[in-house]
Chains A and B, each alone.
Chain A
Amino acid sequence: MANRIFEVVSKTLDDLSSRPSVKKLVYSAAVIFLVSFILLPPVIGITFKLGLAEQVFSDPALLSRAESAVFWSFAIALSVAALDIIAGLPLAWFITRGHSRWINIVDALADIPFVIPTVALGYSTLLFWGSTGPVSVLSFSIPPGLILVFLLHFAFSFPVVVRVMVGALMAHNTIYETAAKTLGARSFTIARTVTLPLLRPSLIAAFLLAFARSLSETGATVIVAGLFENGPVFIKNAKDAGLEGPMVLVSFTLILSSVAVFALIRLLGNRLKIPINNVLPDPEARLSSKRSVNLRDGFTLLIFALFVLVPSIYITLPATGALTDGTLQNAFSGAGVWSSFWQSMALSYGIGVLVTLINIAAGLPVAVLVARKRLGKLGTTLLDAVVNVPIVVPSVALGVSLGFFWRSFTFIPEFWILVFSHMTITYTYFVQAMAAAIEGIPEEMEETARTLGSKPFHVFRKIILPLTKYSFLSGAILVFTRSVDETGAATAVSQTLKTAPVLLVSWVKHQVPVTDSDIALGIAFLVLTSFAALLALRLLVYRRKK
């Protein structure tokens, strides 16, 4: 029966898709959605409140705090992204070109900070480097503040660089390296003069992604910031203090400057020349020796373990303690703070599911428009730029603007305001993943299918979707996890409803009476449920495949 209904629906959609008017309608609806739900709300939201920013100019101390916060946001993001490239590239090289039998394990471990919600990562970092953490045995600890923020940002943006560069190195045709080798070049010289210049677009992309992730992060940064303020922390503090003016000023500055810096890096990045003319035979031969390579690999792995991996998973230790001290029973019985915790979890996952479904439906036609350049060169460039705005702009700044916009419609319940905000923050991920995947399918395949009698939606169901299902899945997973993990925008938007990460930040900051075991277990639940959701999705796809 279900099959029959599916067939009838599919056939109806196939037939409808053949009509040019229906196609136009679907694409127009998707673009209208993009403009009215993703682009305009933050722009209008912040523009209408700009007047409030004037308050700050009459308070020099506040203005100086705001300036310093914005400065540190960029200083940290730029330096962290640069360090990520320096440390991440050798690891990506080790994973793709190394011969160690541990490569697969290192590859999997490199993703861990990526899948752990940043709030958990923040708390884990706080504990690891704190006065009761493992480093304290060396009579050394790092208190909350600038250095800890820096270490945290390095840890969570590092996997982005590794993932992008591993992908680029895997896809890179090694024929050029082979040719260079036969011409007598040493491996270091080849890497410097052949491989890296060819991978320049990926290096720029990796740098930009790490930069954006650092610029945008809020939840974890708030946890480890102490008295230090970068842009997002300043906005969070201003919101807690009920100061709208400073919120508007810093959000507006962050939005404008991040778009400008992105555009600048994109422009200058393409002009960046990696020096390739000079070859230094002796030092480069020494750097290419087996000993040097082993030394480099060892050092890379040490940095990865010490500054990324162990601080990220340290949280598991205190969480284990919570299993035996009665916290677990409290949690399951919903006693005390746990009742609000489970409500927040349900809210986070509910929003996650809704946002994923909406973004899939609204994003697919836009992904097709971008991938197939249906709007011409200029139209596609514009559309692509608009699609990318949400990941370029710090989410907390975006959240402030979205909050102003959506709350002006008093009839919209807070739940939907949260949904709309999460929708904006996560919109880019699915569209980008699908656009890239569709672009990889030769258009001729679609055209041939059409000449064989297949209608546009039939082509999509039978050819495009099966060939892009992994990108579809990873796009959906990215939207879902990013939504569940989102702290900045949720903090800025929420009034009475608190999503799980927002609630956990308030726990860590002891804004509610909780024990350290409560915090550790709460964070462990968030991590575990994230993993479980991912696993369930993967199993679902695997079963379909079988």
Chain B
Amino acid sequence: MPFLRLLNVAKRFGAIKALDDVTFEVKDREYLCVLGSTGSGKTTLLRSIAGILKPDEGEVYIDGEKANDIATEERNTVYVPQNYALFPHMTVLENVMFGPLAKEIDKKTAEETAMRVLKLVRLDKRADAYPNELSGGMQQRVALARGLASGAKLLLLDEPLGALDVRLRIELRTELKKLAKESGFTVIHVTHDQEEAMTIGDRLLVLRRGHIQQHGTPYHVYNRPERIFVANFVGNTNFLEAIVESRSKEGSILRLREGLKIRVQDPSFEPGEAVIVAIREENVSITPEPRGDEINRRSGEVTAVYFLGSFTRYVVKLTNGDEIASRTPVKEAKVEINQGDWVSVNFDPGNTHIYEYPTLGLPSELEAS
């Protein structure tokens, strides 16, 4: 039985639909990352689960029980906002004891529980400190400890690493997951950082404008994006507009602008249909010498070169005017390629995805909010 289940949940703020027909399940002890940009409905989703907001439609089930009419304080879910909401007038220990005391556990037991979880997050030595005396990372751990001590089973984290600097964020990612797993929590972790979501989540749920775009394991979402938006939002992807020329068991031949042709593996569209081809930048390889145009090997001029540390990103303008980018591991680059050079770009038909041409056009489909 899933630990959390949302069924057709909708929430409106005036004319804005913050959540629309949201249905999904989270298994017991699962770590779910909800990925979406600002305004996608991520926070509304967490607040609806916590009972801070009441959905206009749909049902929320927690541990098998319908929770729509259960008060926030009775739901046993801990909401941790981005700024952690540590109580500034209480010490670290008092903050962590707050949950047990609110649930009428006697003071001695509450203190023991609080000290135990503070030890777990390695902050037992700062029990008497006030939140403003702690670093961002420590505050985050106190917020977690406070959730742990409360005895809740579902942890709702709203951009928990958003306020930290990059290095600390990367460090704390794994620690966060480890702690949640060790403590037996079911976690919903909201973020706009795709790398964070992929690293930490058992499963990903991509939200856009209050709608679920895709729900699955990070591997699945990354390698089989079901929508153009997901292909764009998760990872770095080239999009080319094309018409299906022909199709066979092996795949389809697509016609790009100016009649350039490419082959893709997906044969599901009819000849004559307008489609969008998506190719991950890391699946495009680049060779220094243009060796004549063939299908899936096209020549073009390098218009920009970005050095990204372990990768180099090249932007190549094809002869038909389409632009295609390639991410090449630095160690694989045998010859230096510069802006203005003519090169060949190649990709495997198996590493492409094609989508129906969006009614409102490609730019509208790529917009996050």
**A-B complex is real:** yes
Give A residues with C-beta under 8 Å from B: 11, 18, 442, 444-445, 447-455, 458, 462-463, 466-467
Task: Report yes or no: A467 in contact with B73, Cβ–Cβ below 8 A.
Answer: no
A18 touches B98 (CB 8 A): no
Instruction: Determine whether the beta carbon of A449 is less than 8 Å from that of B102.
Output: yes
Pairwise interchain contact B98-A449, C-beta atoms closer than 8 A:
yes
Q: Contacts A18-B71, A452-B99 hold; do A447 and B50 have CB atoms under 8 A apart?
A: yes
Q: Which of B40-67 contact A (CB under 8 A)?
A: 47, 50-52
A-B contact pairs, 17 of them (CB 8 A): A18-B73, A442-B81, A444-B83, A445-B85, A447-B72, A447-B79, A449-B87, A450-B51, A450-B72, A450-B73, A451-B78, A452-B78, A454-B73, A454-B98, A455-B73, A462-B98, A462-B102
- Which of A442, A445, A453 sits near B102, CB closer than 8 Å? A453
What 6 A-B pairs have minimum CB-CB distances, sorted nearest first?
Answer: A454-B102, A452-B99, A448-B85, A450-B72, A444-B81, A451-B79
Closest to A465 in B: B89
A466 to B81 alpha-carbon distance, docked (Å)? 21
Are B83 and A451 within 8 A (Cβ)? no
Min CB distance B75 to A, Å, is 7
Task: Identify which of A11, A450, A452, A458 gathers the most chain B CB atoms within 10 Å of its CB.
Answer: A452
A462 cross-chain contacts in B, Cβ below 8 A: 87, 98, 102
A11→B103 CA distance, assembly (Å): 11
Nearest neighbor of B154 in chain A, beta-carbon distance: A451
Asked whether B88 lies within 8 Å of A451 as measured between CB atoms, the reply is no
User: How far apart sit A442 and B77, CA to CA, in the bound complex (Å)?
Assistant: 20
* Pair B73/A453 contact, Cβ less than 8 Å: yes
Given the contacts A447-B52, A451-B156, A467-B88, A442 and B98 also touching, CB distance less than 8 Å: no
- Checking B80, B87, B99, B156 against A453 with a beta-carbon cut-off of 8 angstroms, the contacting residue is B99
Q: How many angstroms between the C-alpha atoms of A463 and B90 in the bound complex?
A: 9
CB distance from A373 to the nearest CB of B (A): 13
CA distance A376 to B283 in the complex (A): 52
* Distance between A326 CB and nearest chain B CB, rounded to angstroms: 53
Given A18-B71, A447-B79, A448-B85, 20 more A-B residue pairs with CB atoms under 8 Å apart are A442-B83, A449-B85, A449-B87, A449-B98, A450-B50, A451-B72, A451-B73, A451-B78, A451-B152, A451-B156, A452-B73, A452-B98, A452-B146, A452-B147, A453-B151, A454-B102, A455-B71, A462-B87, A466-B89, A467-B87
B214 at the interface (CB under 8 A from A): no
Min C-beta distance of B49 to chain A, whole Å: 10
B52 and A451 contacting across the interface, CB-CB below 8 Å: yes
Partner of B75, one of A18, A448, A451, A454: A451
The interface of chain B, by Cβ under 8 A from chain A, is: 47, 50-52, 71-81, 83, 85, 87-89, 98-99, 102-104, 146-147, 150-152, 156
Which residue on chain B has the smallest CB distance to residue A454? Answer: B102
Does A452 lie within 8 Å of B150, measured CB to CB?
A: yes
Residues of B within 8 A of A463 (CB): 87
CA of A453 to CA of B75, assembled, Å: 8
Q: For residue A463, which residue of chain B has the nearest CB?
A: B87
A448 lies within 8 A of B73 (CB) = no
Point out the residues of chain B lying under 8 angstroms from A442, CB to CB: 81, 83, 85
Min CB–CB distance B188 → chain A (angstroms):
12
Closest Cβ–Cβ distance, residue B139 to chain A (whole Å):
13
Q: Which of B50, B73, B80, B88 has the most chain A CB atoms inside 10 A of its CB?
A: B73
User: Closest residue to B80 on the A side, CB-wise?
Assistant: A448
Chain B residues with Cβ below 8 Å from A448 are: 78-81, 85
Residues in A whose Cβ lies below 8 Å from that of B151: 453
**Contact among A18, A444, A454 with B85 in the assembled complex (CB-CB below 8 Å):** A444
Q: Closest residue to A20 on the B side, CB-wise?
A: B71
Q: Residue of A at shortest CB range from B43?
A: A444
Complex CA distance for A442 and B86, rounded to whole angstroms: 11
Closest chain A residue to B49, Cβ basis: A451
A452 and B147 alpha carbons, distance in the complex (Å): 7
Residue of B nearest to A462 (CB): B98
Q: Cα distance A463–B150 when bound, in Å? A: 17
Which A residues lie within 8 Å of B50 (CB)?
Answer: 447, 450-451
The listed residue with most A CB atoms (<10 A of its CB), out of B52, B72, B103, is B72
CA distance A401 to B359 in the complex (A): 67
What is the CA–CA distance of A453 and B103 in the complex, to the nearest angstrom? 6
For A454, list chain B residues within 8 Å (CB): 73, 98-99, 102
Q: B58 CB to closest chain A CB, in angstroms?
A: 20
Are B99 and A447 within 8 A (Cβ)? no
- B287 to chain A: closest CB distance in Å? 50
CA of A44 to CA of B156, assembled, Å: 52
Kindly state the separation between the CA atoms of A463 and B88 in the bound complex, as whole angstroms.
Answer: 9
CB atoms of B83 and A453 under 8 A apart: no
Q: Choose one: A450, A453, A466, A467; the contact of B52 (CB below 8 Å).
A: A450
Instruction: Verify B102–A447 contact, CB threshold 8 A.
Output: no
* Interfacial chain A residues near B80, Cβ < 8 Å: 448
Identify the closest chain A residue to B150 (Cβ).
A452
Residues of B within 8 A of A11 (CB): 104
CB-CB under 8 A from B89, the residues of chain A are: 466-467
A518 to chain B, nearest CB (A): 49
Q: How far does the alpha carbon of A526 sit from the alpha carbon of B300 in the complex, in Å?
A: 92
Nearest chain A residue, comparing its CB with the CB of B53: A447
Q: Name the CB-closest residue of A to B78.
A: A451
Judging by beta carbons under 8 Å apart, are A453 and B150 in contact? yes
Distance between Cα atoms of A463 and B156 in the complex (Å)? 21
Q: What's the Cα separation between A462 and B52 when bound, in Å?
A: 19
CA distance A451 to B153 in the complex (A): 11
Could you say which residues of chain B place their CB within 8 Å of the CB of A444?
A: 81, 83, 85
Query: Chain A's nearest CB lies how many Å from the CB of B16?
Result: 15
A6 vs B31: C-alpha distance when bound (angstroms): 42
Q: Which residues of B contact A449 (CB under 8 A)?
A: 85, 87, 98, 102
Does the CB pair A458–B102 fall under 8 Å? yes
Q: Which of A18, A451, A467 contacts B77 (CB 8 A)?
A: A451
B87: A residues at CB distance < 8 A: 445, 449, 462-463, 467
The residues of A that contact B72 with a CB separation of less than 8 Å are 447, 450-451
A467 to B88, CA, bound (A): 8
**Minimum Cβ distance to chain A for residue B79 (Å):** 4
Closest residue to A448 on the B side, CB-wise?
A: B85
Are B47 and A447 interface neighbours, CB within 8 A? yes
Q: Which residue of A lies closest to B155 (CB)?
A: A451
Give A467 to B47 CA distance when docked, in angstroms. 24
- Chain A residues with CB under 8 A of B78: 448, 451-452
Q: Which residues on A sit within 8 Å (CB–CB) of B51? A: 450-451
Residues in A neighbouring B102, C-beta threshold 8 A: 449, 452-455, 458, 462
> Which of A447, A451, A458 has its CB near the most chain B CB atoms (within 10 A)?
A451
Residue with the highest number of chain A CB atoms closer than 10 Å, among B47, B77, B79: B79
